[in-house]
Structure 1
């Protein structure tokens, strides 16, 4: 019942409330992004969603508009492309806030496997083995509090599969609050070409 009905209902309620309650923070971040660097406020990127259907994920832009169009982990020196406010956004994960829109729309869930880049077929193929592509990708998930960028593709996929097998309200509740601990400690965050497992760009 929770997986089939209540999980989506909770996603809609919490993401809607989040967009309203955090509107003041959105406004502050929008202004900060606009005054510190030229370019759009939001960064949009094609990601792999449920049943491997692509969708556009939203993030606050944290990198310069002239950044090479490659994943961050392939940049030799990503710091030179990250804006001043972008460093704060990325370290605090505040750049992920616009994904509340994705959750409200139904592209994502609050808890689930982090959506892979459209080009990460190796990760998507590995997730297929564990059924991790059969549910909505999440804002945060089991892999996010278990190492994030430091995890190998195989380990991420196994953790994602483990989550799919055990979706419960209590489990999601624990993962939700466990994410705050992970974010505050910046646990497992990686940037740059030497961090080969990172799947984030801009």
Structure 2
């Protein structure tokens, strides 16, 4: 049933949001010259998939977890995209394709070995990763791998259609911070 809603909502989001996607792509072209960010992430059953987002950082930024990235690498337009969560919109394509769900554990990078190990131990990879979930609306990010994996497990075990919608609504209205870049210096 959740997959049905993933397909319906991602398709509607892509169709209805097409003008916004085109506008953000055009602005992104002027901002970085390459508005779409592609990154290989750990998916369901630990299979790789290419995650799509709007680029929020300079092109030469190192491929590290968000909490390890330098805040200086985020562009002015990138700050806007992150604050409004509009940088996540291209992931609707990942949801439509079946790589992701709207609700699930945020997909990590393959170089986040501690997080991957913690999630594997808790069978978090049995489900599709998501755009949002319990950890994101609770402000828990990837800087605490064991806690994140435990919250992911809890979400998976308790996920109902009601919670699915609750996490989506909480994300849309701005609850939680999810993965955030820590300002340095």
TM-score, structure 1 as length reference = 0.83
Quick one: which of 144, 148, 161 aligns to 2:140? 148
Unaligned runs of 5+ in 2: none
Distance 1:177 1:69 in 2: 30
Unaligned runs of 5+ in 1: 1-5, 195-202
Higher relative contact order (CA 8 A, sep 6+): 1
Quick one: which of 54, 74, 92 aligns to 1:82? 74
Q: What is the SS of the residue equivalent to 1:143? A: helix
Structure 1 residue ranges, 4+ long, deviating more than 2 angstroms after superposition: 66-75, 148-151, 185-190
CA-CA distance at 1:129 after TM superposition: 2.3
Match of 1:113 in 2: 105
**Count of matched residue pairs:** 184
RMSD of Structure 2 on Structure 1 (CA):
1.9
Q: In 1, are the aligned partners of 2:142 and 2:148 still within 8 Å (CA)? A: no
Rate the CA distance shift 1:153–1:106 in 2: closer, same or farther, 3 A. Answer: same
Match of 1:64 in 2: 58
TM-score, structure 2 as length reference = 0.90
Q: In 2, are the aligned partners of 1:150 and 1:190 still within 8 Å (CA)? A: no
Distance 1:147 1:36 in 2: 28
Quick one: which of 169, 174, 177 aligns to 1:187? 177
Quick one: which of 20, 33, 48 aligns to 2:28? 33
Does residue 96 (structure 1) correspond to residue 91 (structure 2)? The answer is no
